[in-house]
Amino acid sequence: MKINKQVEEVLNKQINAEFWSAYLYLSMSAYFETRALKGFANWMKIQYQEELTHAIKIFDYINNRGGVVKLEAIPDVPVKWNSILDVFQETYDHECKVTAGINNCYETALAQKDHAAANMLQWFIDEQSEEEANVLQIIDQLNLIGQENGQAIYHLDKELGTRVFVDSTQPTA
């Protein structure tokens, strides 16, 4: 069965939102690089890679269902922040917006009785819950250690530098 047009429309909007998210996280990675925080930069670069895979998962879904993918220009993303905490607070706020977009896609799929799309989107709902929790944990750590505690920031930077990219959109072997 071909994809429902309303579902196709919201999924296309979500693809473009995921690509914008990728750019945002890459910009945040660059910001941390300029501050010699390579671990924080690494964490954001992995966020960038995850957002790309999320966009491609929806891209492939639309194509596999006989729809038409409509890519749009990517608006500018911020390049400056006031602090490490500011970056992660913006990340959390942004992830909440992404969650709202995914929820809108899911609700549209249910309203249109497109159960295949709703099933595919369930993965994203679970993923967003994890994304928000991960960012909140870092915010909590930053609030605990304070941003002026260079030694603690150094250790958190080292910890975040150990994160590796795993394409969670692919089935595990």
The pLDDT of residue 115 is 94
**7-56: pLDDT as tens digits:** 999 999 999 999 999 999 999 999 999 999 999 999 999 999 999 999 99
The pLDDT of residue 164 is 82
User: Global pTM?
Assistant: 0.92
Percentage of the chain with pLDDT > 90? 83
The pLDDT of residue 78 is 97
* Spans in the chain with pLDDT lower than 70: 171-173
Return phi, psi of residue 68, to 5°.
-120, 125
The pLDDT of residue 30 is 98
The pLDDT of residue 149 is 77
Residue with tokens 């605990």: 144
Alpha helices in the chain (DSSP H): 5-34, 38-64, 84-111, 115-145, 150-160
Residue 170: DSSP 8-state: S
d(CA 52, CA 67) in angstroms, rounded, equals: 20
d(CA 172, CA 91) in angstroms, rounded, equals: 27
The pLDDT of residue 106 is 98
The pLDDT of residue 172 is 58
By C-alpha distance, which of 65, 58, 48 is closest to 14?
A: 58
Q: Which domains does the chain have, with CATH numbers?
A: 5-160 (1.20.1260.10)
